[in-house]
Amino acid sequence: GEDVEQSLFLSVREGDSSVINCTYTDSSSTYLYWYKQEPGAGLQLLTYIFSNMDMKQDQRLTVLLNKKDKHLSLRIADTQTGDSAIYFCAEYGYGQNFVFGPGTRLSVLP
Amino acid sequence: NAGVTQTPKFQVLKTGQSMTLQCAQDMNHNSMYWYRQDPGMGLRLIYYSASEGTTDKGEVPNGYNVSRLNKREFSLRLESAAPSQTSVYFCASSEPLWGGAGRDNEQFFGPGTRLTVL
């Protein structure tokens, strides 16, 4: 079945860039999503990318997609302490349910 | 506009006890979902409901039942709780089940129920 993998932890210093990586297996995915989960809360949609795009920029967020390698990344520029959270990669294809990765816990150090 | 609400927020059960987790949404969405979240495993889909009156199994349905009471409400029942069901449970809703584009597919999540089974 479909599988989405992510590294579980990432630590960065405040002001640096964070890069969270994700790999997926389903080549029929049409959209790939990044969700953010703050402590004690549910997931919230951060951004997404259509599978025929290579890059999408949304303010401090840059999403890169390498469809050939099935690799997705989320770059957060000028990372702030408020960005500390768990970030989930998710793939979505027509006729299928979302498949979520295990989540990457981002810790931002002062 | 409360979005997706879940009750209770926390619950402790003994093995073999039963309970129902409640979920309601006020966004007039057709589709609703129940997930469980376990450390290092992400979210796994338990059951989903494409519309009022329909429910389908997800990836991990064993030990659970669901009811789509009306368009707003989707409940999850544990008939005989087991320690393996200790988890955080999230309810979510969206407008299309499948076939949406981009942000249209967004699932809106409730705050979660933290369940411990002793």
> Do A97 and B45 count as a contact with CB atoms less than 8 A apart?
yes
Within 8 A of B111 by CB-CB distance, chain A residues are 40-42
Taking CA atoms, what residue in A is nearest to B110? A42
> Do B98 and A42 count as a contact with CB atoms less than 8 A apart?
no
Question: Which candidate from A40, A94, A103 shows the least CB-CB separation from B42?
Answer: A103
> Do A44 and B107 count as a contact with CB atoms less than 8 A apart?
no
pLDDT bracket for residue B114 (50, 70, 90): very high
Q: What is the pLDDT of residue A82?
A: 94
pLDDT of B56 above 90: yes
> Do B105 and A92 count as a contact with CB atoms less than 8 A apart?
yes
Residues A37-96: tens digit of each pLDDT: 998 889 999 999 998 899 999 999 999 999 999 999 999 999 999 999 999 999 887 767
Residues A11-27: tens digit of each pLDDT: 999 999 999 999 998 87
Q: How far is A16 from chain B (nearest CA, A)?
A: 26
> Do A4 and B41 count as a contact with CB atoms less than 8 A apart?
no
Overall average pLDDT of the B94-108 stretch? 74
B110, B96 contact by CB (below 8 A): no
Question: Which candidate from B41, B90, B106 shows the least CB-CB separation from A45?
Answer: B106
Backbone angles phi, psi at B62, to 5 degrees: -65, 130
Interatomic CA distance for residues A72 and B89, integer angstroms: 27
Q: What is the pLDDT of residue B87?
A: 97
pLDDT bracket for residue B101 (50, 70, 90): low
**B57-63 own/partner pairs: CB under 8 Å, 24+ apart:** B58/A97, B58/B33, B58/B34, B60/B36
Residues B57-68: tens digit of each pLDDT: 999 999 999 999
Overall average pLDDT of the B19-39 stretch? 94
Question: Which candidate from B42, B102, B105 shows the least CB-CB separation from A100?
Answer: B42
* Region for residue B63 given its phi and psi (left: phi exceeds 0; alpha: psi -120 to 50; beta: otherwise): left
pLDDT bracket for residue B55 (50, 70, 90): very high
Within 8 A of A43 by CB-CB distance, chain B residues are 43, 90, 92, 107, 109
Q: What is the pLDDT of residue B99?
A: 60
Q: Is B53 exposed, middle or buried (0-12, 13-18, 19+ CB in 10 A)?
A: exposed
| Cβ-count burial B58-90 (b if 16+ within 10 Å, e if not) | bebbeebebebeebbbbbbebeebeeebbbbbb
Q: How far is CA B111 from the centre of its chain?
A: 11
